[in-house]
Amino acid sequence: NIFMIEKKKTELYQELGLQARDLRFQHVMSIATRNNRIIMRMEFLKAVITPEFLLILDYRNLSLEHWLLHELASQLAGEGQLVTYSLPFEFRAIEAILQYWISKLQGRLNTLQPQILETLEALVDPKLLSVDRSKLHILLQNGKSLSELETDVKVFKETILEILDEEEVIEELCLSKWTDPQVFEESTSGIDHAEEMELLLENYYRQAEDLLNEARELRVLIDDSESIIFINLDSHRNVMMRLNLQLTMGTFSVSLFGLIGVAFGMNLESSLEEDPRIFWLVTGIMFLGSGLIWRRLLSFLGRHLDPPLPPHVPAALKKSQPAAGRVDIKTSLKGETFGLSRSTLTNQ
């Protein structure tokens, strides 16, 4: 049976036998017992559990109506997929709230994951010479949301872990032990109800741990993608620097042999200007000499910038293909850092 009541807090905590601070609204996460009552705070979700009923406080404007009207009743009645249908009421109430909160955290991760993957796929492209700032802004916002999610999951884990470390608190959560001792006997599986409560909390602790591992893997993927973006940008920057250096060397070569034309253009009288073939001869020498010097400078540049040949690998080590693949990747990254050209990286 689900119904709504409106009461003043003073009347409510007097009726429940609690203190005013127990019903104070706080954005914290905690599970505590007071006067045979369980007080659960899951940030904005605040509940009081007794052996007979579950009281959700201040649920308005919190988007809890769908959960309260369509899911919570069946979970408390043992009609859902939860595993506490044969246990006392407080077990079903605790699991329903924990299930709702872990589902909410999982939903946040499921919303962030495709957005982050789509943004990273658009950014990690070796063909891009620049990075789209709008994509970076989206990635920054998603990174902040992911950090908030990691913090919430850690707080959820720590809250459950604090209870698991205290056996007395676990026994206090079994309210039926104090109201009806006969109910607090060994269950049909031969496990004490206190152990059932511990197994229940450990189950959601493991779910939170798995959720946190997924968030960490997504964080590692973002960090690795940022490294790849920086490597790609450095590679394109090195290509532009090398092209600029090649053009500078070409200009130097042409200017060097241009001195011959400068010498002949000084209006000096000699017998060479009387020969009609001398113009084509001097022009040919200038272009040929400039080309040879430029080619020589390019060869010198290639010897000093191209990576050295990899060391000889013995035949016994060539059998380990995965290890060799990792060495090739490290060599490629090292060469790319020191400024290889686009063709060199492609060949590696």
CATH value of 9-237 in 1.20.58.340, 2.40.110.10, 3.30.590.10, 1.20.1250.20: 1.20.58.340
The token pair at 303 is 């010897």
The whole-number pLDDT of residue 11 equals 82
Q: How far, in Å, CA of 193 to CA of 186, rounded?
A: 7
- How far from each other are the two terminal CA atoms of the chain, in whole angstroms? 70
The whole-number pLDDT of residue 217 equals 92
CB 264 within 8 A of CB 282: yes
Region 218-228 average pLDDT: 86
More confidently predicted of 72 and 301: 72
More confidently predicted of 320 and 16: 16
pLDDT at 161 over 60: yes
The whole-number pLDDT of residue 346 equals 38
Region 120-126 average pLDDT: 76
The whole-number pLDDT of residue 146 equals 92
Report the phi/psi class of residue 58: left, alpha or beta, with left for phi > 0 and alpha for psi in -120 to 50.
Answer: left
Is 203 strand, coil or helix?
Answer: helix
The whole-number pLDDT of residue 347 equals 40
Among 123, 314, 143, CA closest to 226:
123
The whole-number pLDDT of residue 203 equals 92
Question: What does the pLDDT look like over 33-91, one tens digit per residue?
Answer: 888 888 888 888 888 888 888 888 876 666 777 788 778 887 787 665 555 567 788 88
Least confident piece of the model among 8-22, 46-60, 116-130, 217-231: 116-130
Rg (CA), the chain: 37
User: What residue spans define the domains of the chain?
Assistant: 9-237
Q: How far, in Å, CA of 32 to CA of 47, rounded?
A: 11
pTM equals: 0.65
Is 195 strand, coil or helix?
Answer: helix
pLDDT at 328 over 60: no
Question: What does the pLDDT look like over 4-14, one tens digit per residue?
Answer: 888 888 888 78
CB 154 within 8 A of CB 29: no
Q: Report CA-CA distances (Å) from 51 to 36, 41, 54, 91, 173.
A: 9, 18, 8, 9, 10
